Amino acid sequence: MGKKNRNQNGSGLIRGTLKKVRSGSGFVEQENGDDIFIHADNMKGAMNGDEVLVDLLPPIYWDKNPEGLVDRILNRNVTEVVGTYRRQKGNGFVESVGRKDDAVFIKKKNAGHAKSGDRVVCRITRYPASVYESPEGRITEIIARSDEAGAETKALIRSAGLSKDFPSAVSAQAARAAAEPLTNEEISRRRDLRERTIITIDGADSKDLDDAVSVEATEDGGYRLGVHIADVSHYVPAGSKLDREALKRGNSVYLLNHVIPMLPKTLSNGACSLFEGADRLTMTCEMTFDSEGKETGHEIYESIIRSSARMVYHDVSEILENHDPNLSEHYGDYNGRNITSMLFLMEELAALLRRNRMKHGSIDFDTTESEILLNDLEIPTDIRPAERRTANKLIEEFMLAANRTVAEHFCRMEVPFVYRIHEQPEPSRITEVKHVLRIFGLSLPGVPDQIHPAELARVLEQAAGKPGEEVVNTVILHAMSKARYSTECEGHFGLAFRYYCHFTSPIRRYPDLMVHRIIRVILSGGLDDRTARSMEAAAQEAAEVSSRTEREALELERDVEKMKKSQYMLGHLGEIAEGVISGVTEYGFYVRLPNTVEGLVRLESLHDDYYEFDPDRIRVLGIRNHRTFTLGDIVRIQVLSADPALRRIDFRLAEE
């Protein structure tokens, strides 16, 4: 947030971090959250990420946002730039992967063994003194050669400060922990569930299997659900080098076929992964439900399990949706266990849990995610909507139930904890949603600052199956506040849960690991005042760090997805397709294709008239012919251009 100082003339200077965009301009955030726009000509040599003092221009010079110019650079926070090396007549330049900074000039003697097109790291040796100068640097690392598979993705990973590799001391500690045999003492103090029918259900390519489930029918016609989670806290001692590295990373990052794990593979894909037939230490949340799906009791305890089957979403969905005879028979007697019958029992319970959740106002966004298929060279060969089938939804319901139960249990105990919270949307965002919904003939009752999630859920239900459904889902989703971690139990607006935490993925999320660690201390009776204070501080740090790393991971995931979509569309230039207008701005409108790819139709490409942006009706309007392009309209487009480096796709109307 910006801190106000005073200059000698008494005018206000605003301190903040500069965030540049690809045009060369940028923004600095004020204390009230508003952004100050800085034109590229007013940067005074500042680079993306630098801490600066900004002098506001008089309001008469503003466009929409407050505008200013960089008065002084306080801290140069950028010491290196990751990008593509372009050689020109001996010397060369490094273009940053995000194109958010001027190219870094590289003298021939400072290029090392880099060749044109390589993805590299260059260290800044001289910063620009004005907007008319370029920074100068020296190449210190070659990330990937120009023809290497996944070169751009590797550069994006490196630019985010991430690495698949771990410090040697951390890897060694993880290897020692993974190699330790399970002692009889450790097994005897846990509840032994190795004879129970417990299965994992994950993606076919998943290697870090940290959750397993079991369901049994109770004598009174109800259900007993067991959610069994890998006990990573047993292998990662608090405060150890392994623990500090996991906290630093905050979470695993999944970038198509690249994974940057939170923990070394010896643990994440080894000792902690709940492989079929392997004895594994777990933390269990066992819940009982009546015949209507209402929870009637629960237990949380340390356990040991032996997974009966490693199942995948596709196979489970085929059994439940289509009664696939081969799969049903195969798992009907799988090592002496009738897993097929348990799957149908799971489906019954999951349907009840979902019905009850929706009845209480939980929002279920039905936005379509992308599935991007890559070849061996990591070139995208197809893009299509990702499937969200019965098995995926089933596991989601069970994880939600466990997360909710664990959060309520320990919140009522008033012990240090890490919760997953989701605050109510800003009233201004809800006002915008109301405005958009009117275009689709939908209404959202209630005042913006007192909206209930049930009202938003009702709107989504009304939009289901109608033109513009995807747009309505996206608009409401974008209006939501960002979920984050906190030591205060403030509830989850989107789920309409009073209590919620993340308990179910300690292999890939540090807050879950922290939650497990706290539970182990409490179950052992070791939470005295001194330990409680220590746990409170550790929980606070975990919440803050993990909220930040999660935001950074999501941004990186979006960048990689946009880059691969742009790369894919390079092979489809000139093709014509039909799509829906998913966004409208003063410079054009976005069109989303059935395969989830989105591109921009720029107003300057429309030659039949002069078009203006009409924000009140979220459309562009022709001045003479009064032709309109409105949010939700179906249009035919032609693929005009695609730029993977800028992660940008441009369309034009097919008729143009």
Strands 199-202, 309-312: pairing is: parallel
Q: Are residues 189 and 323 in contact, defined by beta-carbon separation less than 8 angstroms?
A: no
Q: Which amino acid is at 153?
A: T
pLDDT at 31: 63
- Burial of residue 311 (number of CB atoms within 10 Å: 0-12, 13-18, 19+): buried
Cα–Cα dist 495/491, whole Å: 9
Per-residue CA distances from 489 to 301, 360, 412 (Å): 22, 19, 10
What mean pLDDT is predicted for residues 401-416?
97
Cα dihedral 440/444/448/451 (nearest 10)? -140
Q: How confident is the model at residue 43 (pLDDT cuts 50, 70, 90)?
A: confident
Q: Which amino acid is at 548?
A: R
pLDDT at 306: 97
Q: Which amino acid is at 343?
A: L
Sign of CA pseudo-dihedral 133, 138, 144, 147: positive
Closest CA to 422 of 358, 482, 511: 482
Going by the DSSP 8-state scheme, the letter that residue 416 receives in this structure is -
Between 500 and 438, whose confidence is greater?
A: 500
Cα–Cα dist 203/44, whole Å: 50
Task: Please give the distance of CA 137 from its chain centroid, rounded to a whole number.
Answer: 33
Q: Are residues 266 and 201 in contact, defined by beta-carbon separation less than 8 angstroms?
A: no
Partnered with residue 75 across adjacent β-strands are 51
Instruction: Let me know the angle formed at the C-alpha of 469 by 360 and 654, rounded to the nearest 5 degrees.
Output: 165
Residue 35's H or E segment, with its range, is strand 35-38
What is the average pLDDT value for the chain, to the nearest integer?
92
Q: How confident is the model at residue 100 (pLDDT cuts 50, 70, 90)?
A: low
Cα dihedral 271/273/276/280 (nearest 10)? 60
Q: Which amino acid is at 646?
A: L
Residue 385 φ/ψ, nearest 5 degrees = -65, 135
* Strands annotated E in 97-230: 104-106, 119-126, 136-144, 191-192, 199-202, 211-217, 223-230
Q: How confident is the model at residue 101 (pLDDT cuts 50, 70, 90)?
A: low
Q: Quick one: tokens of 292?
A: 């209507």
Q: How confident is the model at residue 436 (pLDDT cuts 50, 70, 90)?
A: confident
Residue carrying structure tokens 């907007």: 131
What mean pLDDT is predicted for residues 297-321?
97
Q: Are residues 214 and 223 in contact, defined by beta-carbon separation less than 8 angstroms?
A: no
Strands 634-643, 588-592: pairing is: unpaired
Instruction: Let me know the angle formed at the C-alpha of 552 by 551 and 558, rounded to the nearest 5 degrees.
Output: 90
What mean pLDDT is predicted for residues 6-18?
64
Residues 578-636 have pLDDT tens digits of 999 999 999 999 999 999 999 999 999 999 999 999 988 889 999 999 999 999 899 99
What mean pLDDT is predicted for residues 167-178?
97
Residues 366-397 have pLDDT tens digits of 778 899 999 999 999 999 999 889 999 999 99
What mean pLDDT is predicted for residues 499-510?
98
pLDDT at 9: 33
Cα–Cα dist 135/122, whole Å: 11
pLDDT at 3: 39
Cα dihedral 543/548/554/558 (nearest 10)? 170
The interaxial angle of helices 510-523 and 241-249, nearest 10 deg, is 130
Q: Quick one: tokens of 357?
A: 């959740």
pLDDT at 5: 39
Instruction: Let me know the angle formed at the C-alpha of 150 by 145 and 156, rounded to the nearest 5 degrees.
Output: 90
Cα–Cα dist 31/250, whole Å: 27
**Over 50: is that where the pLDDT of 7 sits?**
no
Q: What percentage of the chain has pLDDT greater than the value 90?
A: 76
Residue 428 φ/ψ, nearest 5 degrees = -65, -35
Going by the DSSP 8-state scheme, the letter that residue 485 receives in this structure is E
Task: Tell me how far apart the terminal alpha carbons of the chain are, to the nearest angstrom.
Answer: 46
Q: Quick one: tokens of 443?
A: 């209404």
